[in-house]
Amino acid sequence: MVCALKFWVDINCDLGESYGNFKVGSDAEIMPYITSANVACGFHGGDPVTIAQTIALAKKHGVAVGAHPGYPDLMGFGRREMQLTYNEAKTYVIYQVGALQGFAKVFGAPLQHVKPHGAMYNMALKDEALARAITEAVLELDHNLIVFAPPKSVLAKKAADAGLRVAHEFFADRAYNPDGSLVSRRLAGAVIEEPDKVVGRAVKAVKEGVVEAVNGELVELGTVHTICVHGDTPTALKLARALRSGLVKAGIEVEAVSRFI
Amino acid sequence: MVCALKFWVDINCDLGESYGNFKVGSDAEIMPYITSANVACGFHGGDPVTIAQTIALAKKHGVAVGAHPGYPDLMGFGRREMQLTYNEAKTYVIYQVGALQGFAKVFGAPLQHVKPHGAMYNMALKDEALARAITEAVLELDHNLIVFAPPKSVLAKKAADAGLRVAHEFFADRAYNPDGSLVSRRLAGAVIEEPDKVVGRAVKAVKEGVVEAVNGELVELGTVHTICVHGDTPTALKLARALRSGLVKAGIEVEAVSRFI
Amino acid sequence: MVCALKFWVDINCDLGESYGNFKVGSDAEIMPYITSANVACGFHGGDPVTIAQTIALAKKHGVAVGAHPGYPDLMGFGRREMQLTYNEAKTYVIYQVGALQGFAKVFGAPLQHVKPHGAMYNMALKDEALARAITEAVLELDHNLIVFAPPKSVLAKKAADAGLRVAHEFFADRAYNPDGSLVSRRLAGAVIEEPDKVVGRAVKAVKEGVVEAVNGELVELGTVHTICVHGDTPTALKLARALRSGLVKAGIEVEAVSRFI
Amino acid sequence: MVCALKFWVDINCDLGESYGNFKVGSDAEIMPYITSANVACGFHGGDPVTIAQTIALAKKHGVAVGAHPGYPDLMGFGRREMQLTYNEAKTYVIYQVGALQGFAKVFGAPLQHVKPHGAMYNMALKDEALARAITEAVLELDHNLIVFAPPKSVLAKKAADAGLRVAHEFFADRAYNPDGSLVSRRLAGAVIEEPDKVVGRAVKAVKEGVVEAVNGELVELGTVHTICVHGDTPTALKLARALRSGLVKAGIEVEAVSRFI
C-alpha cells in the first residue's frame, strides 16, 4: 500500500491600493502568481474605480477576492496606530467589507476572505476588543467569509471562537521571533530577500508547520494555509514567481484557500 | 354598487448625514413621521457609526431604508457640481450602495431604494450618462431596488428603461416651474413654508397627479409615489408632522413605497 | 504707602471647528466673552470658509487669534490617538499654522498663539518627541508665537526650552488629580458645572496659583495665564459669561495673553 | 555700433504631488533642469511631509518655489471641474498658498509665484469670478507673488488688472488652436513628443513670441516668460533636458522668472 500525503497552500497579496491618479503596486504583474487578492477598500487606499479594476483583473486570472479594510488614514496609508472604540472599528469594517461585497456582486466574484490592513491588522493581533470588533463585523456580514490571521494571534482566536474559518498566514520573507511574532522591520535581517531561502522557509512551513526563528529555535506554526507576498517592488515580483514555482516543485498544490480549508 | 378609489403615498427624508462629531439633522425627531429614510453613505456625509445608528433607528420605527449616495465632496456636502466620467460615477454608486447593503444585512433591514444626493441628483435629472451610470450600478447590485426620481426626469426614464421600479418624487414645499422643474432656491418664493399650503399641494399631487406652477398653469405629474421632506430645521419637523396627518386625514395611506409600488 | 497687586488673565476657546455644511459650536455667541480664539486649521475641523469667517468675527470683537492644529482625522474630530513620526507631526503643524498665518495676513489679525487640539494636545503633554515637533514647527514659523500648555507639562517645558513664550492654561470646569493632570472625563465628577464653583476655582487659580484636587490636596499651578472655556453647549455659554464677569468682579483684568505675558 | 538683444525664459514644472505613501512624479530627476517648481498644496496632492521635502530639494538646486493650489478633490487629482462659489475659491487659495508660505518661511525659500492646478487652472482661463477669486487671494497674501497664466487668458488679465506681475506661460509640447488655446488631449496630435520639435517651438516662442497653430496659422503669444514641462514620465525627463540645453544653445538665459520679469 502506498500512502501519499497531500499539501495545499494559498498565496495572498495586497492589491488595489492605488487611489485615483496615485498608482501603487504592480497588480497586473503579480496577479498570475497568487491565488487570493486582498483588495483595499477605500480607507487607506483603493478608490472605487481601482476596486472595480482590481476585482475584474482577479476574476480574469481566477484569483479569489478578499476585502482588505484599514484605518481611515489615507495620508498615513493605514499604517499608523489609531485608537478606535469598539463600535468605530466594527462599523468601519462593515462599511468597507460591505462596499467590497457590492463590487463582488456586480462582477460575479464572491468575496472569499477578509484580511485587515496595516496597523489595523497589527493591533488586532494583540488587542482583544479590536479583534472582536473585526470578527463580529465579518460574522454579521457573511459567516462564510474566511479571516486571515497569523496562528496563535488574538485575531485568529477571536475569529475561531466566533465560528468563522481562519486561514493561518505565514510570512515567508520575514524573520520570526521565538514567540512567533515578526522581527520588526527596523531591525537588521527583518526581511529575507534571497528567493531560495524564502522558498525553503515556505515549503518547510507548509509541510512541517515550523519556521526557524532568528535565534535558531523552531517556532511551531501549526497548519499554514496562506503565504503573504508583497506586490510593490520588482524584487517582490521575482519572489512571488519563485515562491509559486518552488511550492509547486515541492509537490504542494497552490490554490485559493477556500478550496481546501 | 360603491366604488372606492384608494390612494397611497410614501414620505421620504434625507437622514444619517452627520459625520463623526459633526451633527446635522434631527433624525430622531423626524423618524416617526416618515416611511422611507434616505441614508447618507459616507461621501457627502454619514460616517459608518452614523450609518449604523440611523439604520437601527429606522428599523425601530418601521421606516424603510434606502441608500443616498453623493459626490466625494465632504467639504461641499455633495452639493457642488463635479464632472465625473461614466465609470467614476458608476463605481462611486456601487461603492456607497454596497456599503449600505452591508449595514442593511447586519441590521436585518434590507435596502428598499436608492436616491442620489444633492448635485448628483440634480445633474442626473438631465445628464444621460450620469443617469445611466447610477441606474446600471443599482441594477447590477440588486434589481429589486427602487430608484427615487422626479417624473419625466432623465433619471426616471433611464431607470425605467433598465427595468427598475421608479418611485416618482414630489416636493411639496417647493415651487414648480411650468416645465415640471423646481424653482431655483435663489429666487423668491422657491420654498413654501405654510403647512396648510404644503399639505394642500401634497394631497392634490397624490389624488390628482398635478401641481400648480408659479405662473398658475397646472403641471402634470402622473402618479406621485413619494413626497420629500427636509429634516434639518424645526420648521421642517412641524411640516413633516402636518404633512403626515394631513395626508391621513385626506384618506391617503402613508406607507413605505415598496408596499404599494 | 499703598501697594496694589494687579492680576491679568486671558480666556480662550476653541472656535471655527465647523466644516462646510457641518456646523458645530456657538462661535458668534461665545466670542464676546473671550479674549483668545483657538481657530481650527482644517485637519480635525475648520474648512477655509469657516476659518475666514471665524477670524473676521474675532477681529470684530477684538479677540486675539491663534492656530489650533490637530491630527488629520476629520472622522474622529482629532480626538483619537495617532502614532505620527516626529517629521509627520512637525510638518503637519507647519502646514496648519502656515495656513492660518495666511488668513491672519489677509484679515490683518496677526496670529498670537498656537494651541494643539484634542489628542495632539493630550499626547504632547507627555510625549517628548511630539512636544518637540510642535515646538520646533512654531519656532521656525514665528518665534513670537505663544504656545498654550498646562504648567509642568512636557509641552510647556519644551516650548520654554526653545525660547518660546508659554501661556499656562487652567481648566476651570475640570476636576484635577493631585499630580496636576485632569480627571478623565470617563469618571464621575470630572466636569464641574456649577458656575459659582467654576468662577471660584478660576479666581483662586489666577490669584493664588493653586487648585484643589479631587482628594482635597492643593495643586501648585504657578502663574496661570489663560483659562479654557468650551463653546459647544448652552451651559458653556452661561459658564463663559459667568467666568468673564466673575473674574472682572474679583478685580482681575481679562485681556488677550499677548498683552501681559 | 553692435546691438545685442538678450532673451530670458523660465522653465516650470509641477512637483511635490505625492501623497504619503502614494508617490507620483520624478521630482529629484527633473529638478536639475527647471528654474521654478510649482509645489502641490495638499488639496489635489502634496501632504505636508512631501511639501517639506520638495521645498528642501528645490532650495538645494536653486530652483524658485511657487504654490500650486487645486480643488479639494484628492480622488480626482484636482482634474475634475467643480462649481465653487467666489468665496470658496478665494479661501481655498488663501489656505493652500498660506500653508506653502509657512514651509517657505521655515526653509528660507520665499515663494516666488502661484500657479493654479488642473481644473482650477483651466476654468480660471475663462471664468471671471474664479480668476478674480484666485487673484485677490494672491494679492492679499503677498502682492509680490507672480501669477502664472497663459497670455490673453482671463486669469492673466485679472491678475494684471489687480497690479500683480503675470508670467506668461507657454506649453512647448502641446499643439495650439488658432485662438491660442491648447488642442484638447482627446484629439490626435495634441501632445508633441519629438524633442527637436519641442525645442524649436520653445525657441521660436521666446524669441519671436509666436507659435504655429495646428492649421498652420501663426498665433501671437506676446512675451513668453515661462515654459511648462511635465515631470511624470521618462519622456518628460528627456524633454526637459533637451529643452534646457536647446534654449541655452539658442542663446537664451534660463532663469527663475522673478530674476527678469
A:91-120 residues touching chain D, CB 8 A cutoff = none
Tell me the whole-structure pTM to 2 decimals: 0.96
Nearest to C19 among B22, B47, B79 (CB): B22
Taking contacts as CB-CB distances below 8 angstroms, the residues of chain B near C47 are 75
CB contact under 8 A, D96 and C99: yes
B232–D contact, CB cutoff 8 A: no
Helix pair angle (C86-107, D48-60), 10° resolution: 90
Taking contacts as CB-CB distances below 8 angstroms, the residues of chain B near D122 are none
* Of residues A73 and B5, more confidently modeled: A73
Contact of D192 with D199, CB cutoff 8 Å: no
Nearest-CA distance A221 → chain B (Å): 34
Minimum CA–CA partner of C51 in chain D? D91
Nearest to A95 among B42, B88, B141 (CB): B42
A156: three-class secondary structure by DSSP: helix
D162 phi/psi in degrees, rounded to 5 = -80, -5
CB contact under 8 A, C96 and D98: no
Beta bridge partners of C227: C11, C170
pLDDT over 80 (residue C218): yes
Nearest to B88 among A42, A49, A101 (CB): A49
Distances (CA, A) of C70 to A36, B48, C39, C78, C189: 38, 22, 11, 6, 27
Nearest to B81 among D76, D82, D88 (CB): D82
Weakest mean pLDDT among A220-229, B170-179, B231-240, D58-67: B231-240
What domains, with CATH codes, occur in chain B?
A: 7-259 (3.20.20.370)
Which band of pLDDT confidence, cut at 50, 70 and 90, is reported for residue A3? Answer: low
CB contact under 8 A, B84 and D84: no
Radius of gyration of chain D (CA): 17
Q: A187-196: long-range contacts (C-beta < 8 A, 24 or more apart)?
A: A189/A214, A193/A235, A193/A239, A195/A238, A195/A239, A195/A242, A195/A243, A195/A246, A196/A242
From the list C72, C83, C10, the residue with the least C-alpha distance to C44 is: C72
Place of cell 411650468: B178
Helix pair angle (B86-107, A48-60), 10° resolution: 90
Nearest to B75 among C20, C75, C76 (CB): C20
Question: Where are the alpha helices (H) located in chain A, listed in sequence order?
Answer: 27-30, 48-60, 86-107, 118-124, 128-141, 154-161, 195-208, 234-249
CB contact under 8 A, B83 and D88: no
Name subunits touching A (3+ CB pairs < 8 A). Answer: B, C, D
Residue C2: what pLDDT? Answer: 60
* Mean pLDDT in residue range D201-211: 97
A79–C contact, CB cutoff 8 A: no
Q: Is the ipTM of this complex over 0.90?
A: yes
Which band of pLDDT confidence, cut at 50, 70 and 90, is reported for residue A5? Answer: confident
What grid cell was written down for B77?
456636502
What grid cell was written down for C114?
498656537
C:123-152 residues touching chain D, CB 8 A cutoff = 137, 140-142
Minimum CA–CA partner of C92 in chain D? D48
Distance of alpha carbon B147 from alpha carbon B139, whole angstroms: 10
What grid cell was written down for C136?
520646533
Residue D3: what pLDDT? Answer: 60
Distance of alpha carbon C228 from alpha carbon B130, whole angstroms: 50
Distance of alpha carbon B239 from alpha carbon B233, whole angstroms: 10
CB contact under 8 A, B98 and A94: no
Residue C59: what pLDDT? Answer: 98
Nearest-CA distance C21 → chain B (Å): 6
Minimum CA–CA partner of C21 in chain B? B77
C89–D contact, CB cutoff 8 A: no
pLDDT over 90 (residue D1): no
B8–C contact, CB cutoff 8 A: no
Taking contacts as CB-CB distances below 8 angstroms, the residues of chain B near A91 are 47-49, 51-52, 103
Taking contacts as CB-CB distances below 8 angstroms, the residues of chain B near A105 are 98, 140-142
Residue A231: what pLDDT? Answer: 78
Q: What is the mean pLDDT of chain A?
A: 95
Nearest to D75 among A19, A77, A79 (CB): A19
What's the 3-state SS for B186-229? CCCCCECCCHHHHHHHHHHHHHHCEEECCCCCEEECCCCCEEEE
Nearest to D24 among A22, A75, A76 (CB): A22
% of chain C residues with pLDDT over 70: 98
Minimum CA–CA partner of B107 in chain A? A140
CB contact under 8 A, C95 and D48: yes
Residue A235: what pLDDT? Answer: 83
Q: Which residues contact A211 (CB under 8 A, 6 or more apart)?
A: A170, A176, A201, A204, A205, A218, A219, A221
Taking contacts as CB-CB distances below 8 angstroms, the residues of chain A near D22 are 18-19, 22-24, 45, 77
**Preferred mutation among B50, B91, B105, B120 to probe A, highest tally of A CBs within 10 A:** B91
* Sites in chain B below the pLDDT cut of 70: 1-4
Contact of C235 with C26, CB cutoff 8 Å: no
pLDDT over 60 (residue D4): yes
CB contact under 8 A, C140 and D92: no
B79–D contact, CB cutoff 8 A: no
Minimum CA–CA partner of B49 in chain C? C75
* Mean pLDDT in residue range A51-58: 98
Nearest-CA distance A137 → chain C (Å): 19
Residue A4: what pLDDT? Answer: 66
What's the 3-state SS for chain D? CCCCCCEEEEEEEEECCCECCECCCCHHHHHHHCCEEEEECCCCCCCHHHHHHHHHHHHHCCCEEEEECCCCCCCCCCCCCECCCHHHHHHHHHHHHHHHHHHHHHHCCCEEEECCCHHHHHHHCCCHHHHHHHHHHHHHHCCCCEEEECCCCHHHHHHHHCCCCEEEEECCCECECCCCCECCCCCCCCECCCHHHHHHHHHHHHHHCEEECCCCCEEECCCCCEEEECCCCHHHHHHHHHHHHHHHHCCEEECCHHHCC
CB contact under 8 A, C94 and D106: yes
CB contact under 8 A, C99 and D103: no
What grid cell was written down for A121?
491588522
**Preferred mutation among A23, A75, A77 to probe D, highest tally of D CBs within 10 A:** A75
Nearest-CA distance A76 → chain C (Å): 9
What grid cell was written down for D155?
486669469
pLDDT digits (tens, 9 = 90+) for A103-129: 999 999 999 999 999 999 999 999 999
* Mean pLDDT in residue range C217-223: 95
Minimum CA–CA partner of B82 in chain D? D82
